[in-house]
Amino acid sequence: MDNYVSWYRYISQDQGKVAELIQGLKQVLNGFVSFKFEQYGDKYTILKLRFANDSDRKNIIEYSFSDLSDGQRILIALYTLLYCTQSEDYTLCIDEPENFLALPEIQPWLLQLYDFCDEGKLQTLLISHHPVLINYLLASPIGYWFERQSNTPVRVKKISNKEADNSGLAISELIERGWLYDPA
């Protein structure tokens, strides 16, 4: 997300989308208030995030986007993708969004992503190796399993809860044991 600041500057021209993004970030980032652009020299603009102190809501603390942790930057980028691309003609392709994030941090985003996709506001290709995400997405009516043996085409299989119900194991456990998909 090296170019997030430039991307956000472009997106900020649509105040409706930015308002939705800010409301979404207020739900997941404790004390988040708003974004702020600050000029740094003639050529550079810094994106700052403004946070209110829990004890004193008037005391605003600012952090530049680059000062945030990797996890915080990823979370902000994921929510920006979610809120600023909905109802557009985009297909989001996201590889392992859970990197740098704990499950309680990614789960609200994943639920919102699922709802937007279910409502037809987004189309997303999500790639993950995380067992919880696999269980959640593959067990839903929208999950697909992609597999490729060496020197063969990729095979796509729709997966449902019946694969797990037959064995009593979670889908991620079936994958780990190699029992889920037998191409023969």
Residue-wise pLDDT for 89-138, tens only, equals 889 999 988 888 888 888 899 889 888 888 888 888 888 877 777 776 66
Q: Where are the domains of the chain?
A: 4-128
Compute the radius of gyration of the chain from its Cα atoms.
20
Give 180: exposed, middle or buried? Use CB within 10 Å, 0-12, 13-18, 19+: buried
Do residues 97 and 68 make contact, with C-beta atoms less than 8 angstroms apart?
Answer: no
Q: Name the E strands within 43-83.
A: 44-52, 60-64
Domain covering 4-128 in this structure, CATH number = 3.40.50.300
Phi, psi (rounded to 5 degrees) for 145: -110, 125
Give CB contacts under 8 A, 24+ apart, made by 158-164: 164/139
Task: Note the pLDDT tens digit of each residue in 13-59.
Answer: 988 899 999 999 999 998 999 999 998 888 888 999 999 987 676 78
